[in-house]
Amino acid sequence: MTTVAAPEFQHRTVLLDEAVDALNLGGARADGVYIDGTFGRGGHSRLVLSRLGPKGRLFGFDKDLQAIATAQQITDPRFEIVHDSFATMKSALHERGISHVDGILLDLGISSPQVDDASRGFSFQKEGPLDMRMDTTRGQSAAEWLATATEQQLEKVIRDYGEERFAFQIAKAIVAGRAVEPISSTRQLAGIVANAVKTREKGKDPATRTFQAIRIFVNKELEDLETGLSEAYALLAPGARLSIISFHSLEDRMVKQFLASKAKVAQPDRRLPIRAVDLPQPLMKLIAKIKPSDAEVKANPRSRSAVLRVAERLPEGGAA
C-alpha cells in the first residue's frame, strides 16, 4: 500500500501503462527485483508496486531532491529510493547484495514539475535563476558554467547537445552579453539567444535548443545514459526487460544504437565450416518501439516527442 502527498506541480507520466506493461510483470516475475531509474514523481513506480507480488522489490533512483522527498512518502516496504543517478545502479544494488534484476525502466529527460517550477531555471518561458541542475546539491549551475566557459566550449555544447545550427552566433552573443553583466536569469539568456537567432522553425522558441543543450551538459545526461545503459545490461537477468522512454533525438539515437548492438551479431563467412550451434548469438531481443497515442498527445502535448523502446536479455549462448 502506498501513500503519497499531492505534488505542488502536476505531472503526467508519459506512456505509463505501456512502459510498465513492457516489463512483463506477470506470474512468477511479480516477485522479482525491479528498478525505476528515473523516479520523478513516482508514476511508473506506483504502477509497478501495484503489480508486484509480496516478495517483489523495487528500487527507485533520482538526483532531484523534490523527487526524493516525494519518494520518501511511499510507505511500501518493498520500495527503496536511492538519491543518485541511475548510472550508479549496478554498484548501488551490489551494495545491497543484489547482482541481477528482473526489469529496468528509464524515463529520460526532465519532468513537468521541474519545467514548471521557475526557481529551477529549466524554462525560458518563466523568469527564474539560471540553475538547471537536477541535483541542486552538486555541480555547477548553468549560470556558473556560462560565466567561465570559453566561446569555443559554448559553441560545441550548443551545437552538439542542442543540434543548433546557429551555435556560433549564440556563443558569440553569450560572451558579448556576459562582458556587460553576468548572465544569471532565464529570461536574460533567452533574450540573448533570441537576438542572435534571426530565423526559427515555426512554433518553436529560438531558445529551445540552447536551453536543452545547457541542461544536458550541466547534468551530464548523455554521459549518465551511456554508463547507465551498460550498467542496466549487466544487471539484467536472462528474460529480464529494459524499458526506456526518450524525448529527444540524441537520447533516442543512443538507446537505439545500444540496443541494436546487443541484438545483432556479426555473421561469419558462410563458406566457412561452422556448425549452427557455434554461430555467434544475439545478447538481446528487440521487443517493441511505441509512441504515445493521439489521445495521450492531445491530453498531454509534452508527450508528443516520446519514444518507448523495449528489449529483453537473452540467455547466454542464444535463443529467445
The answer to whether domain 16-112+221-313 has CATH 3.40.50.150 is yes
**Average model confidence (pLDDT) for the chain?**
91
pLDDT digits (tens, 9 = 90+) for 226-244: 999 999 999 999 999 999 9
Residues of the chain with CATH 3.40.50.150: 16-112+221-313
* Predicted pLDDT at 272: 63
Q: Determine whether the annotation assigns residue 114 to a binding site.
A: yes
Q: What is the pLDDT of residues 47-74, one digit of tens each?
A: 999 999 999 999 999 999 999 999 999 9
Question: Would you say 84 is a known binding-site residue?
Answer: no
140 belongs to an annotated ligand binding site: no
What residues have CB less than 8 Å from 256, skipping those under 6 apart?
309
**What is the pLDDT at residue 320?**
43
Q: Where in the chain are all domains bearing CATH 1.10.150.170? A: 136-218
**If DSSP states are collapsed to H, E and C, what string results for 262-306?**
HHCCCCCCCCCCCCHHHCCCCCEEEEEEECCCHHHHHHCHHHCCC
- Identify the CATH number of the domain defined by range 136-218: 1.10.150.170
Q: Confirm whether pTM is higher than 0.85.
A: yes
What φ, ψ does residue 235 adopt, rounded to 5°? -85, -25
pLDDT at 36: 98
Q: Per mean pLDDT, which range of 20-29, 61-70, 181-190, 297-306 is the poorest? A: 297-306
Beta strands in 25-173 (DSSP E): 33-36, 57-62, 79-83, 101-107
Give pLDDT, residue 104. 98
Looking at residue 194, the DSSP 8-state letter turns out to be: H
- Tell whether 43 is in a known binding site: yes
For 211, list phi and psi in degrees, rounded to 5. -65, -40
Query: Which pLDDT belongs to residue 6?
Result: 37
Provide the pLDDT for residue 11: 59
Q: Which of 316, 306, 317 is nearest to 279 (CA)?
A: 317
